[in-house]
Structure 1
Amino acid sequence: MSGEHLQVVHGDITRMEVDAIVNAANSGLLGGGGVDGAIHGAGGPAIMEACRAIRDAQGGCPTGEAVITTGGRLPAPYVIHAVGPVWHGGGQDEDEQLANAYRNSIRVAAQHHLRTLAFPNLSTGIYGFPRERAADIAIAAVREALAGAPEIEQVTFVCFDDENYRLYRERLS
């Protein structure tokens, strides 16, 4: 399924053969569960070492921001760690923070001359962001960011679960 430079697949982001995969990171960049744990596990210790160096240099990564590290043993040579918001009911600027996490990931990819990028469904797991709302925000933010990043040729939304896959497929078909 595609629209412009966007596509959706159902699968495991750690197996994507793209220039960079995006990690659903926490602000401490210390790894965790879900996508974050899977990426750190599949990529090996080089990713954690790079995250620790970023923590030491700048104290982590604020919500809505993104940083880049090696991909370690992953097929993708780079990981962009994006910090999405925890859902608190919508009254704490969560929509804008989520959009910024996607936009800043595209910005970091463009700064590093990357051409292909794969995103998970940021903030929709343990962070509790409503999935339909998150899908709308993700697609709009990525489209907006791609308008200013012509070097990026393809963005893939990698959905691990059936519900997110259906939501993205409907919106991109």
Structure 2
Amino acid sequence: ITESSVSGILELNFLPDKPAHAKQIDITLKGVEYVFWTEKHGESTKVHRHKEILICQDICVWRSHDNTYQEINELQFPFQFELPNHLPSSVKFAREESKIYYSLKASMKQESSMLKFLGSTESIKIRCPITRYSLFPTISNPTHFSNYDDPSAVSRGIGYSLSLEHNVF
């Protein structure tokens, strides 16, 4: 699988008369594998479920310089997550009971409007489908297969010679 990444720009726009007061903004990439199936044996039914976190990476895209709440009106934060080569593509099966999915979540630690001394976290989460491609490995020398050793096969005209060059299929 070739090197790949998920990148984008988090854009925040607040009304000039209603700015946000924040001290940190994070973006999280999370990949989850969820498997669910049912087995029936006569009258009994057994349900199987498993959830596995494939990746969970956080990036802090902004933090106030003195750890106090700062006023935010309009900001843009570029981000990029490098994907490990072992991650599978997003998959959704027929009834969506088993799936592999990825999501991006932006979280902002902001000042609470009701209790100024307690902060809250606002977040937005979106699905992020990932498709992985892999290149076929190249073979430096062609590989040859041949079979002319079986006299009964050769007498019936069954013998073969096969050469695979460059790519493996």
User: How would you bin the TM-score normalised by the shorter chain?
Assistant: under 0.3
- By percentage of residues, which structure has more strand? 2
TM-score, normalisation: structure 1: 0.23
Higher relative contact order (CA 8 A, sep 6+): 1
Structure number with greater Rg is: 2
